[in-house]
Structure 1
Amino acid sequence: MQEGGRNNTVRVWDLPTRFFHWALVLCVAGLFLTAYLPGSQIEWHARLGYAVLALLLFRLAWGVVGGRWSRFASFLYAPSSVVNYLRGRAHPDHLIGHNPLGAASVLAMLLALLAQVATGLVGDDEIAFTGPLNRFVPTDLGLAATWFHKDVGQWILVALVALHVLAILYYLWARKDNLVGPMVHGDKRVARPAASSRDDAVVRVVALLLLALSSAAVYGLVTL
Structure 2
Amino acid sequence: MTQHSVSIEPTPVWDVFVRLFHWSLAASILFAWWSGEQGGNWMQWHMYAGYTVLGLVLFRLLWGFAGSHYARFSEFVRSPVHTLRYGAQLAKQKEPHHIGHNPLGGWMVLALLLLSAAQAGTGLFANDEIFTEGPLVHLVSYDLSVEITRWHKLIFDGLLIAIGLHLIGVIVHQVFKGEKLVQAMLHGRKPVAEQTPHRPFVPFVRGVGLAGLSAAAIWSLLNLL
TM-score by length of 1: 0.89
- CA 1:195–1:42: 2 relative to 1, 3 Å: farther
Are the structure 2 counterparts of residues 39 and 132 from structure 1 closer, same or farther at C-alpha, using a change threshold of 3 Å? closer
| Conserved? CA contact 2:69–2:201, under 8 Å | no
Q: 2:86·2:103 contact (CA, 8 Å) conserved in 1? A: yes
Q: 1:99 aligns with which of 81, 97, 102?
A: 102
Cα-to-partner distance string for 1:113-160 (whole Å, 9 max, x where unaligned): 11111110111221132111111123222111101112x111111111
1:156 aligns with 2:158: yes
The one-letter amino acid of 1:105's match is M
Shift of 1:41: 0.5
Alpha-carbon shift at residue 194 of structure 1 (Å) = 2.5
The answer on whether the counterparts of 1:42 and 1:128 sit within 8 Å (CA) in structure 2 is no
- Kindly state the Cα deviation for residue 83 of structure 1 after the two structures are TM-superposed: 2.5
Superposed CA RMSD in Å reads 1.9
Q: CA deviation at 1:14?
A: 0.7
Please state how far the C-alpha of 1:27 moved relative to its aligned partner.
0.8
Q: SS of 1:190's equivalent?
A: coil
Matching residue of 1:140? 143
2:24 alignment partner in structure 1: 23
Structure with more relative contact order (C-alpha pairs < 8 Å, separation 6 or more)? 1
Q: 1:130 aligned to 133, 145, 154, which one?
A: 133
Give the corresponding residue for 2:48.
Answer: 47
Return 5+ residue gaps in structure 2 as ranges: none
Superimposed CA distance per residue, residues 85-138 of structure 1 (whole angstroms, 9 cap, x where no aligned partner): 12326455xx11111111121111101011111110111221132111111123
Deviation at 1:196, TM superposition (A): 4.2
**Range 138-147 or range 55-64, more displaced:** 138-147
Unaligned runs of 5+ in 1: none
Per-residue displacement from partner, 1:163-187 (whole Å, max 9, x unpaired)?
A: 1111111111221112111111111
Task: For residue 4 of structure 1, report the CA deviation from its aligned partner.
Answer: 6.7
Normalising by the residue count of structure 2, what TM-score does the alignment of the two structures yield?
A: 0.89
> Who is 1:208 aligned against?
208
SS in 1 for 2:217: helix
Are the counterparts in 2 of residues 10 and 195 from structure 1 also a CA contact under 8 Å? no
- Give the ranges of 4+ consecutive aligned residues of structure 1 lying more than 6 Å apart after TM superposition: none
The separation in 2 between residues aligned to 1:115 and 1:176, in whole angstroms, is 34
- Provide the C-alpha distance between the structure 1 equivalents of 2:151 and 2:194, rounded to a whole number of angstroms: 46
**1:186 & 1:196 partners in 2: Cα distance?**
14
**Deviation of 1:64 (Å):** 0.4
The alpha-carbon distance between structure 1 residues 138 and 64, as it changes in their structure 2 partners (threshold 3 A), is same
CA shift, 1:39, in A, is 4.4
Checking the alignment, whether the CA contact within 8 Å between 1:12 and 1:196 is kept in structure 2 is: no
* Kept after mapping to 2: 8 A contact 1:134/1:142: yes
Partner of 2:83 in structure 1?
82
C-alpha separation in 2, matches of 1:10 and 1:81: 26
**Do residues 222 (structure 1) and 225 (structure 2) align?**
no
Q: Which amino acid aligns with 2:208?
A: L
Give the secondary structure class of the aligned counterpart of 2:191: strand
